[in-house]
Structure 1
């Protein structure tokens, strides 16, 4: 392979080392109904079921991307989720200026990875964390192979995350996230703006709450009243893209507003019959496979089925959406960008790598969202069943002898992780109008 040919970054800071975790292997999954794609560009993986007769048609839609390494480095071994019973990591990337995007001719510049969400499912498949990385987060970008096989880019020490795609496509985004987090990311996919809109329609719309009217002339979003709105198609896309309409107008505010949508979507997929509605499921599968580019490791029905089975049974309170800790207002390379809060990021990814569940501080949802004052209350605790009596033949009633049970150790509640913003899928929140 030729020498690096492009120098497009600042090199004053060291590039973060890649630290790889391991995921265990086990038996193959046996289910053949269901296919998973990414639910939207800004959402974690959503489960999709289809009949076996649709498999060939769906496979024909998939646009495959290879994950590569530089010459001299160890070849990437791509595991198959179907061989595991444990956890996995998958990166969902929403791209701007994508080929075929409806408004591409009206937009100038390179294709950018505007939305970057890393989904980590724990080894015991009882919890999941979805980390949103700000597009303007300044990070090291490692040397990335050219997608055309013509050399590679130089490593850069301080660049906005959203330029990684322009240097080496999806592969470069994966390498950058791996270096930043210390996690192996063997599964990834991109989705265009068109796909986001179609996905929202395929699930029958997503309910989002706003605390006041939101109007954004840049995205065309116009929600004229506070309260809950059901969004689909272009309106859902405009909501997810709006930056100046929510919070403080920053990318950080947009992420916390997006998490309002993502939490609602997860609740809908799990609780409102999406997984048992063949029409919606088939529509999701068609949209996902026709509007996405997937790594070869993810473009497999076995892999998708396994992800579906793992995600569909995780309690909503154990699905946590967080944003990579960062702040605005920095100077130098951070001027007008997002500066990492490294201590909080280190604590977050130490928990994720160790598969340790955590809770977020109450009310710390971020500047683009707030607790919904009209949130439904939790299910009431069922009344205890009264002890039955046994009436023997002599007519004397005696209390039933209860069996002796071994004491059950209550599950230890997850610790609170401070300094990290976000919410769980069980939290009902509203986007904050700017």
Structure 2
């Protein structure tokens, strides 16, 4: 296909997408930053908040469960370094107890501040309120945000042809309906959504265990997107965006499809070992053992590095250890790749004193990211404390089920 025809297809796709986009304000300050500065020119790097809503309103493929209103079932802060050489995705537990700041909701109403609230209630007041909460917790400015529904997750997984996910032990979750044998499975559609939502089917059944399992999926998805050349191809990027926008609410700053594509192109040359998925550090809530609170000492380090755009690596023990017996050894079931894999490396752990246990087991004992500094000798760098758990996208890891 010639460059002219590629450009024509991309332009046509962009016009089509713009007619489908639903956008909202996330706050006057954040809206103005995005309006006046491109993603590539934001000083200190760009911050984007991705929120997965649990609303059932208008959803065609999710019948299980009942949810009044909407909650942020999944919340991930993406920080893209100013030089586009490192991307960090920080997952916030839905069961985290936080102080909600005063904020402006989607309909323009102002909501008062409220102390000691469950984090996933912030979306009930609008996407801008979830953004304001994360800004208050981290000290960061977040000019870009997107809320995606269940159907959106399903459509995006279909658009990339599914994601190959390793399961170290069988998963059987009666709540989400997910049943997977040990092995490697190609997950897409409703099954991909069930995997991302399962908590009773992985690890100790906590939300922290679910986050670790989500990191396994997202890392595998990043590897597939990079290997297929999607990030360097505007047509493929518009195709991926098209699968999502019908089921998304975007901040006004992302309402321009060119901005979404600009973000994707900014990532096209990134080293997967520099794409880090981390869990916001937590400890057990002393008032409720089923909830967590921020581990302030570790969170302060993470927040400072993100705010100063400091490059960092994960601590040597950030993912804990799992025995080889936890690796998968069976043949994957129908709709999966041809064979299971064997785990012989690390497994996702949790922050010291936290309420849950991790669920990832690496398929290679050499996959732990290096703790060396970045390639630029002038760049500042640090190593996060091992209480901050996570993995690099370059690591092939396995979700540890409950079987």
Is the Cα–Cα contact under 8 Å of residues 90 and 119 in structure 1 kept in the other structure? yes
CA apart distance, 1:285 = 2.2
Equivalent of residue 432 in structure 1, options 385, 400, 403: 400
Partner SS for 1:77: helix
- Partner Cα separation in structure 2 for residue 175 and residue 412 of structure 1: 30
Kept in 2, the 8 Å contact 1:50–1:281? The answer is no
For structure 2, which runs of at least 5 residues remain unmatched after alignment? 320-347, 350-356, 369-374
Map 1:204-283 onto structure 2 (within 5 A): 204-224=161-181, 226-275=182-231, 281-283=237-239
1:27-426 correspondence to structure 2 within 5 Å: 51-68=10-27, 77-80=32-35, 82=38, 84-86=40-42, 87-102=45-60, 103=62, 107-150=66-109, 152-166=110-124, 168-224=125-181, 226-275=182-231, 281-328=237-284, 330-332=285-287, 334-363=288-317, 364=319, 365-366=348-349, 367-373=357-363, 414-418=381-385, 419-426=387-394
Query: What's the CA shift string for 1:72-109, capped at 9, x where partnerless?
Result: xx785232453743521100000012431234796142
1:303 Cα deviation after fit = 1.5
RMSD: 2.9
- Corresponding residue SS for 1:126: coil
Are the structure 2 counterparts of residues 311 and 75 from structure 1 closer, same or farther at C-alpha, using a change threshold of 3 Å?
closer
* Secondary structure of the structure 2 residue equivalent to 1:267: helix
Q: Which moved more, 1:338-347 or 1:102-111?
A: 102-111
Q: For residue 67 of structure 1, report the CA deviation from its aligned partner.
A: 2.0
Question: Which stretches in structure 1 are left out of the alignment for 5+ residues?
Answer: 1-30, 35-48, 379-407
- In structure 2, the CA distance between the partners of 1:164 and 1:54, relative to structure 1 (3 Å rule), is same
Worse-superposed segment, 155-164 or 80-89: 80-89
- How far apart are the structure 2 equivalents of 1:246 and 1:105? 19
Contact residue 311 and residue 379 of structure 2 kept, 8 A = no
Shift of 1:277: 7.2
Q: Sort the Cα spacing of 1:211 and 1:66 in 2 relative to 1 into closer, same or farther, 3 A.
A: same
Q: How many residues align?
A: 352
Question: Are 1:33 and 1:305, in contact at CA under 8 Å, matched by a contact in 2?
Answer: no
Deviation at 1:428, TM superposition (A): 1.3
| Structure 1 ranges of 4+ moved more than 6 A | 31-34, 276-279, 375-378, 408-413
Q: 1:309/1:147 Cα in 2 relative to 1: closer, same or farther (>3 Å)?
A: closer
CA 1:279–1:223: 2 relative to 1, 3 Å? farther
Superposed CA deviations along residues 122-169 of structure 1, whole A, max 9, x for unmatched, are: 11111111100000111110112243334x222112111100111x21
> Is the CA contact 2:30–2:143 (under 8 Å) kept in the aligned structure 1?
no
Counterpart residue number, 1:397:
none
Q: 1:352 to 1:275 in 2, by over 3 A?
A: closer
d(CA) in 2 for partners of 1:235, 1:75 = 36
Q: Which has the higher helix share?
A: 2
